[in-house]
């Protein structure tokens, strides 16, 4: 299975800079060894998808609402993301949980909405513990709890379209990548949790790692069992860095 490399551009770029980066992705990321996904902010999605046409680079949104239409000021629907051509959507990113109060219940509603309202978009459920939780030795219990609450009422046949991203909060944007041992243990733990919950379908659910990934650390990470890809933040703003990561065999 090809590794999935998602670039999360966050709110780092304005419109012009987003379009410029999309052009660089198109030039540099055609025909790599991985499934490459660009994640611009919402306002740039429609233009970026047009630029990326023919490059094989797919599109991810950074957010979605759980109702398909209606009076929900400022939100974006599954239907709109589908019309634009998004193939993935990040759900439950720690920055949204922290700054926008996104609760596990909201995360669950969003996951369910994407799984029910479209066949074309995979929800990328982000989970991960804080530094204090890690130091207390409670990382696995914490992540299991997040998975359990985020996936309430998700059926096994629906779960086949899920992607999980393990993103320890202490590694996001800090320059501290999780060690190979941390990643091996947590990804193995997530896989076992998914198997107990969804049976054989668990084997089809890609588990990505995210947190200060650069090309230099990506080789080891991608060689770790149960690492099916990477969610890349800061380094995804450089197409050259994404190219190196996406070409790792
Ligand atoms: C992220 O926030 O999804 C992320 C992985 O960020 P960074 O690579 O910058 O740590």
DSSP per residue over 30-49, as a string? TT-SSEEEEE--GGGHHHHH
Residue to mutate (ligand 1; options 211, 215, 217, 227; most atoms within 8 A of CB): 211
Planar angle of CA 218, 142, 102, nearest 5 degrees: 85
Burial of 186 per CB tally in 10 Å (0-12, 13-18, 19+): buried
Q: What is the pTM of this model?
A: 0.97
CB of residue 172 inside a 6 A radius of ligand 1: yes
pLDDT the model gives residue 176? 86
Catalytic residues: 93, 167
Distance from the CA of 71 to the center of ligand 1, in angstroms? 32
Percent of the chain exceeding pLDDT 70 equals 100
Instruction: Assign 20 to helix, strand or coil.
Output: helix
pLDDT the model gives residue 237? 98
- Which helix (H) or strand (E) covers residue 239, if one does? helix 239-246
In the chain, the number of structural domains is 1
- The pLDDT tens digits for 40-77 are 999 999 999 999 999 999 999 999 999 999 999 999 99
Nearest to 64 by CA among 128, 10, 113: 113
pLDDT the model gives residue 80? 98
Contacts 24+ apart (CB under 8 A), 69-77: 76/42
Confidence of residue 1 (pLDDT cuts 50, 70, 90): confident
- What gap in Å lies between CA 190 and CA 122, rounded to an integer? 18
Q: Which residue has the higher pLDDT, 174 or 115?
A: 115
Rounded to an integer, the average pLDDT of 231-248 is 97
Rounded to an integer, the average pLDDT of 147-159 is 97
For residue 24 the two structure tokens come to 């660089």
**Residues annotated in a binding site for substrate:** 8-10, 173, 212, 233-234
CB of residue 39 inside a 6 A radius of ligand 1: no
- Looking up residue 174, the CATH number of its domain turns out to be 3.20.20.70
- CB 110 within 8 Å of CB 65: yes
Percent of the chain exceeding pLDDT 90 equals 96
Distance from the CA of 58 to the center of ligand 1, in angstroms? 18
Range of the domain at 26: 4-246
């Amino acid at each position: 299975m090809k590794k999935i490399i998602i670039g999360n551009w966050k709110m780092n770029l304005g419109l012009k800079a987003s379009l410029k980066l999309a052009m660089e992705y198109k030039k540099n990321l055609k025909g790599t060894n991985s499934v490459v996904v660009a994640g611009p902010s919402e306002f740039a999605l429609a233009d970026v998808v047009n630029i990326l046409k023919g490059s094989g680079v797919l599109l991810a949104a950074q957010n979605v609402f759980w109702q398909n239409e209606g009076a929900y000021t400022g939100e974006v629907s599954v239907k709109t993301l589908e019309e634009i051509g998004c193939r993935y959507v990040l759900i439950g990113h720690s920055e949204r949980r922290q700054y926008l109060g996104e609760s596990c219940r909201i995360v669950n509603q969003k996951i369910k909405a994407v799984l029910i309202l479209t066949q074309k978009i995979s929800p990328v459920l982000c989970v991960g513990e804080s530094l204090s939780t890690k130091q207390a030795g409670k990382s696995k219990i914490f992540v299991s709890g997040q998975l359990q609450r985020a996936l309430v009422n998700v059926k096994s046949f629906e779960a086949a379209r899920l992607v999980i991203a393990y993103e320890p909060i202490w590694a996001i944007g800090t320059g501290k990548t999780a060690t190979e041992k941390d990643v091996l243990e947590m990804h193995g733990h997530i896989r076992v949790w998914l198997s107990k919950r969804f049976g054989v379908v668990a084997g089809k659910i890609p588990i990505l790692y995210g947190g200060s990934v650069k090309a230099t650390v990506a080789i080891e990470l991608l060689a770790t069992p149960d690492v099916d890809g990477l969610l890349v933040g800061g380094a995804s703003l450089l197409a050259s860095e994404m190219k190196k990561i996406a070409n790792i065999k």
